[in-house]
Amino acid sequence: MYFTQHLPWWLLFILINAVTLGIGLLDVSISNLSILYIVVINSIIMVLFAIWQYASGRHYEKELMKMNDIEDIESLPVPTTRYQRALQERLLRVRQSHNDRMDQESMKTKENMDEMTRWIHDMKMPMTTLKLLMDDVDGQRRVKLLNEWQRLEGMLNEMLYMKRLPNIQNDLYIETAELGPIIGRSIQKLRTLCMEKDIGFDITLSAPEVKTDVKWLSFILDQIITNSVKYTEDDEIEISSSMVDGAVSLTVEDHGRGIRPEDLPRIFESGFTSTSNHGDGQSTGMGLYLANQAAEAMHLDIDVQSEYGSGTKTTLTFAQQNAYHKVKTM
């Protein structure tokens, strides 16, 4: 690389020596030995200069080629040549421009997220009013309105938790919590839909307590139980907990439609909706994605096993004490 970069200098040096030799051959008054001395001395000087320049720039160029990020500029050695100093100054200006642009984009993103949060909270009031108005409606019409209301509330909650997710580490509060009330609240939100579809719950909690963040665990369970209810008809959903290898394991098992084998590896992808019901405009494909992202931050393991046409079994394995200590101190 060095010789390629400095090829014009080497060609100029060869040209100068060739001209010198040519003059010596044409002018008989100049000793051939003198011309030879001049050429040899020029060559020695050029070679020594090339060695010095290569040695002084080699370390800098080597570290420069290792750079993968603009912030790696700080790891470069101190520039020793004029070219290196000019290059260093240019890189620093590029980094400053990059950081300024990133700050601007971050500010715009924060403003957009704050605006979205305000909008979600503003929607909560009419949602509450709407729920009270629906209490005056009877019969099948009330059931349909409640189902749509619950769907709308779920979508608003998805948006709110999506906003919180990037800063989840600052939002976590790990404590000892009882699983029963958390599961009960998730089921209560779906009460109307469960009654309409004649769905019951068989709950057995051999391990009744876990160390977790109640708010985020509630969100994760809401997504899992909602999916089970959505694809189950006239059956029971089994929810159980047990201690497995020193860690609490919580299982939600239904006997509904199940998941196709080709869909199973993709259920936690952002925006993915089942190929079994791809035309369902009610599915956003974000629920399980957000649940999985939250679970990873909480050191929760989500395992989904399913057989299409037979049902789905989702298991949450809670982190042990040392992992929760890590979550608390991050």
Q: Is residue 123 part of a domain?
A: no
Of 49, 73, 96, which residue constitutes the final position of a domain? 96
Last residue of a domain, one of 78, 96, 114: 96
pTM assigned to the model:
0.63
Are 180 and 324 found together in one domain? Answer: yes
Instruction: Let me know if residue 150 belongs to a domain.
Output: no
Do residues 305 and 180 share a domain? yes
Q: Assess whether 208 and 320 both reside in one domain.
A: yes
pLDDT tens for each residue of the chain, 330 residues long: 556 666 777 788 888 878 887 877 777 777 777 778 888 888 888 888 777 777 766 677 777 777 777 777 877 777 777 777 888 888 888 888 988 888 888 888 778 877 877 887 788 788 888 878 887 787 778 777 887 888 888 788 888 888 788 778 888 888 999 999 999 999 998 888 898 889 999 999 999 999 999 999 999 999 999 999 988 999 999 999 999 888 999 999 999 999 999 999 999 988 777 766 544 545 667 888 889 999 998 889 999 999 998 999 999 999 875 454 455 545
Specify the long-range contacts of residues 118-121, CB closer than 8 Å, at least 24 apart: 120/156, 120/159, 120/160, 120/163
Q: Which residue type is seen at 283?
A: S
Residue 37 domain-assigned (yes or no) = yes
Domain that holds residue 218: 175-329
92 and 190, same domain (yes or no): no
CATH code, 316: 3.30.565.10
Pairing status of strand 236-244 against strand 200-205: parallel
Residue 218 CA: distances (Å) to CA of 90, 130, 286, 321:
51, 24, 16, 20
Q: Give the count of domains, the chain.
A: 2
Please, which contacts does 300-307 make with residues 24 or more away whose CB atoms are closer than 8 Å? 300/212, 300/217, 300/220, 302/220, 302/268, 304/259, 304/264, 304/267, 306/258, 306/259, 306/264, 307/258
Using the 3D structure, point to which of 62, 96, 130 is the last residue of a domain.
96
* 187 occurs within a structural domain: yes
